[in-house]
């Protein structure tokens, strides 16, 4: 995932186009149902329109199909809205579903955040839609239930109201100059929570803002092997993004290549992210044309069966 292979402006435009449903975007206390599609069998219809209208997972065992950015999920599990050490945010998005392994991982991380960092718990952002697939807004990934966003804001010590879950903003962890974290809000507890997440064997990558990676490189003590899983990427200054390996035996899951076990803390590893072209990108001469939406035919064939399978009983 080396950024040097791509044009910075193109990547930034791609991220911005796919980042409209992050922790700062408010939800709705009274969400409205999407209207019926005039022609759901239209071959040119975006698959996101179809998957967004599925409100429940499909029946049957968990079944991952395709890749993080082009795939779907059968038999998804839902993250409970409340737990001893977690609360799910932005309920109106209906993106609290994932592979059962991901749901179990988030629960473990919540307990560790309480134990190791002293947080009351964690705030859980987007995981995936009930059947995965592309979303109407926000992420290009999060399609197979193996990606999850965790807010960098510790869970408050009280049960949040529905209004707070939809309207509360996450705390910015990065200084205005984008060169480092804000020491008033980024604490040793954040280091411990990110360490605990990265030490999970099933976790392949964790995406954070480059300033957060820089801080982790500076503050991590003792065994630093976990730093190799922490990867800088655009955004991720209010939340971090966990990505899991394909589950064992998931033959239709398309994972990512193995990554270097290097800490990624050398000045040369981070220089790109703090270059002027990245921190202060110049707008392109002409706005990039939006890509046509991915159709169901462009997704793995098995996703059609996942889409049309019977609902699990609510």
Reported as a single tens digit per residue, the pLDDT across 100-127 is 999 999 999 999 999 999 999 999 999 9
Residue 178 within a domain: yes
Q: How far apart are CA 312 and CA 314, in angstroms?
A: 6
pLDDT higher than 90, residue 80: yes
Residue 195 within a domain: yes
* Domain extent for 207: 58-279+294-308
Helix, strand, or coil here: 242?
A: strand
Using the CB atoms, write b or e for 130-159: b if 16+ within 10 Å.
bbbbbbbebbbbbbbbbbbbbbbbbbeeee
> Could you tell me the sign of the dihedral formed by the alpha carbons of 25, 88, 158, 32, in that order?
positive
Q: Residue 23's pLDDT band (boundaries 50, 70, 90)?
A: low
CATH of the domain at 126: 3.30.1380.10
Residue 286 within a domain: no
Q: Residue 19's pLDDT band (boundaries 50, 70, 90)?
A: very low
Q: Residue 10's pLDDT band (boundaries 50, 70, 90)?
A: very low
Q: Residue 271's pLDDT band (boundaries 50, 70, 90)?
A: very high
Max CA distance (Å), the chain: 59
Name 87's bridge partners.
82, 123
> Residues 142-152: pLDDT tens digits?
999 999 999 99
For residue 218, what pLDDT is reported?
Answer: 97
- The stretch 59-88 carries a mean pLDDT of 98
Residue 26 within a domain: no
Angle at 79 between CA 76 and CA 80, to 5 degrees: 130
For residue 16, what pLDDT is reported?
Answer: 37
Helix, strand, or coil here: 227?
A: helix
Say if CB 155 and CB 84 are below 8 A apart.
no
For residue 259, what pLDDT is reported?
Answer: 81
Which helix (H) or strand (E) is 189 found in, with range? helix 188-198
Q: Residue 12's pLDDT band (boundaries 50, 70, 90)?
A: very low
Helix, strand, or coil here: 178?
A: coil
Please state the three-class secondary structure of 44-99 as a single string: CCEHHHHHCCCCCCECCCCEEEEECCEEEEECCEECCCEECCEEECCHHHCCEEEC
Residue 155 within a domain: yes
For residue 41, what pLDDT is reported?
Answer: 93
pTM over 0.85: yes
Q: Residue 299's pLDDT band (boundaries 50, 70, 90)?
A: very high
Q: How far apart are CA 246 and CA 6, in angstroms?
A: 26
- The stretch 185-192 carries a mean pLDDT of 98
**Length of the chain measured in residues:** 314
- The stretch 242-261 carries a mean pLDDT of 92
Q: Residue 314's pLDDT band (boundaries 50, 70, 90)?
A: confident
Residue 49 within a domain: no
For residue 3, what pLDDT is reported?
Answer: 43
Query: How many independent structural domains does the chain possess?
Result: 1
pLDDT higher than 50, residue 180: yes
Residue (of 211, 206, 39, 74) closest to 145 by Cα position? 74
Residue 136 within a domain: yes
For residue 203, what pLDDT is reported?
Answer: 97
Residue (of 34, 69, 58, 40) closest to 131 by Cα position? 58
Residue 52 within a domain: no
């Amino acid at each position: 995932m080396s950024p040097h292979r791509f044009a910075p402006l193109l990547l930034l435009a791609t991220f911005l186009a796919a980042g409209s449903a992050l922790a700062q975007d408010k939800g709705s206390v009274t969400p409205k149902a999407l209207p019926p599609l005039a022609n759901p069998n239209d071959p040119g219809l975006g698959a996101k329109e179809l998957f967004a209208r599925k409100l429940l997972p499909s029946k049957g065992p968990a079944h991952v199909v395709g890749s993080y950015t082009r795939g779907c999920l059968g038999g998804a599990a839902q993250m409970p809205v409340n737990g001893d050490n977690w609360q799910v945010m932005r309920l109106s998005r209906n993106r609290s579903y994932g592979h059962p392994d991901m749901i179990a991982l988030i629960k473990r991380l919540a307990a560790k955040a309480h134990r190791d960092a002293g947080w009351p718990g964690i705030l859980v952002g987007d995981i995936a839609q009930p059947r995965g697939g592309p979303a109407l807004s926000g992420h290009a990934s999060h399609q197979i239930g193996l990606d999850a966003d965790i807010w960098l804001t510790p869970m408050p010590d009280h049960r949040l109201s529905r209004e707070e879950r939809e309207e509360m903003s996450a705390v910015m962890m990065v200084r205005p100059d984008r060169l480092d974290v804000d020491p008033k809000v980024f604490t040793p507890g954040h280091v411990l929570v990110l360490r605990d997440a990265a030490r999970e064997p099933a976790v392949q990558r964790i995406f954070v803002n480059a300033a957060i990676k820089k801080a982790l490189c500076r503050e991590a003590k003792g065994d630093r092997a976990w730093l190799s899983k922490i990867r800088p990427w655009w955004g991720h200054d209010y939340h971090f993004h966990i990505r899991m390996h394909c589950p064992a035996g998931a033959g239709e899951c398309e994972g990512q290549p193995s990554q270097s076990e290097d800490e990624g803390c050398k000045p040369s590893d981070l220089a790109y992210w703090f270059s002027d072209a990245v921190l202060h990108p110049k707008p392109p001469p002409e706005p990039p044309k939006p890509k046509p939406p991915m159709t169901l035919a462009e997704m793995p064939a098995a996703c059609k069966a996942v889409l049309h399978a019977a609902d699990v009983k609510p």
